[in-house]
Amino acid sequence: GARTVSSLSAATLASLGGTSSRRGSGDTSISADTEASIREIKDIYELKDQIQDVEGKYMQGLKELKDSLAEVEEKYKKAMVSNAQLDNEKTNFMYQVDTLKDALLELEEQLAESRRQYEEKSKEFEREKHAHSILQFQFMEIKEALKQREPMLAEIQQLQQKQQSYVREISDLQETIEWKDKKIGALERQKDFFDSIRSERDDLRDEVLVLKEQLKKHGIIPDSDVATNGETSDILDNEGHLDSSRTVPGTTQALKTGGEGMLALNLSSCLSDRLKRLIDERESLLDQIKKLKGQLEEKQKNGKMDNTQSEDEVLENGTDMHMIDLQRDANRQISDLKFKLAKSEQEITALEQNVIRLEGQVARYKTAAENAERVEDELKAEKRKLQRELRSALDKTEELEVSNGHLVKRLEKMKANRSALLSQQ
């Protein structure tokens, strides 16, 4: 601007000087040109004043333009700096937005995966719940079965007690059999002894009859208390165990004396009664032995053979068939007891097996119920954990959406400010 003003003033002066030089050379008169030159000088001075005024105004405008240009340049620099900052912030915000979008996508994927796992766990929980209800129902059934097992156990205990009583009874019977066998041996020895006594008694009976006949011939009547068959009261019960060496001399001596003939008769009758009682006792002991021997299956045949032998002996000794019937009844009762004992043992074995099976089922059901409860607790804990993760993911998603909205608003505001600055320039 300054260069333009200086070039304009120089051109104006040159044009004025040129006109004045042409005018001086063409006009010889100084007076005529003086006025013209004065007017020109005045015009020049006026023109200079105008030029100075124009230059002053121009310089003032130029200064104002420079000041405004400096201000504009300063504003432009500030705008460029702010624009660069805004670009940087925009880049950062775009990067943050992209990062948040990626994080949001990851969270959405995690949320979808969590929902899928939640649905799977819910289905599995329902299945486990159904299985738990079934196991609980089975557990109640087993509990009822255990309640019913108590009377069964009581019955088993009763059967065991009966079995023990049967075993004790069998052992007692076996001991009784042994004792009876010993007693039978002693009785057989006594039988041999009394057989010899019986033969002597028959001889003595014959002699007594002969003596009676002789007494009747002499006019002596025997006492009415003495029976003809030799049966008296048990006068000589304490002397039943006398041996034949003592009995025979005593009786022969009594027969030699006439006044003591009745003593021999009484002795023979006592021996007969004693022998009969011993035979009856022997038969009863044989019956008891046959009853006890019927407990063992292996000895039944031997028992039957002994029964036949005992029947022959009984028939030989003049006893009736009532003892045989009693023996058969005893054998039948023993066989029934043995059958009941075997049956009770089978029932006890079956009940014990049933109890063992029920206890095994109870243990299995308890284990299954504990496993189901543990799985249910784990599923509940995992469900709570997934719900917490879902809530935290939803909260993070909401926070990211809110921050994304704020960033979008801020970016729009920055774009508006930038467009306003560009419009002002």
Helix/strand/coil (H/E/C) assignment for every residue in 356-404: HHHHHHHHHHHHHHHHHHHHHHHHHHHHHHHHHHHHHHHHHHHHHHHHH
Q: Could you report the per-residue pLDDT of 25-58, keeping only the tens digit for each? A: 444 556 666 777 777 778 788 888 888 888 888 8
Q: Could you report the per-residue pLDDT of 263-307, keeping only the tens digit for each? A: 445 545 655 676 666 666 656 655 655 555 555 555 545 555 555
How many CB atoms are located within 10 Å of the residue 327 CB?
24
79 pLDDT band, cuts 50/70/90, is confident
- Listed ranges 127-141, 161-175, 198-212; the one with the highest mean pLDDT: 127-141
Percent above pLDDT 70 for the chain = 62
Q: Could you report the per-residue pLDDT of 202-237, keeping only the tens digit for each? A: 776 676 676 667 666 655 554 443 334 443 333 333
C-alpha 215 chain-centroid distance: 105
Look at residue 345 and tell me whether its pLDDT is greater than 80. no
pTM for the whole structure: 0.31
Taking residues 57-61, what's their average pLDDT?
Answer: 83
Amino acid in position 376? E
pLDDT at 290: 59
Percent above pLDDT 90 for the chain = 0
pLDDT at 4: 41
Q: Where are the domains of the chain?
A: 2-73
CA distance 278 to 274: 6
Among candidate residues 390, 405, 413, 408, the one with its CA nearest the CA of residue 114: 390
Q: What is the DSSP letter of 208?
A: H
Answer with the residue of higher pLDDT: 322 or 162.
162
- Measured in degrees and rounded to the nearest 5, phi and psi for residue 219 equal 90, 15
pLDDT at 82: 79
pLDDT at 42: 81
174, with CB counted inside 10 A (0-12, 13-18, 19+), is middle
Taking residues 308-317, what's their average pLDDT?
Answer: 48
CA distance 178 to 154: 36
Taking residues 316-332, what's their average pLDDT?
Answer: 61
pLDDT at 203: 72
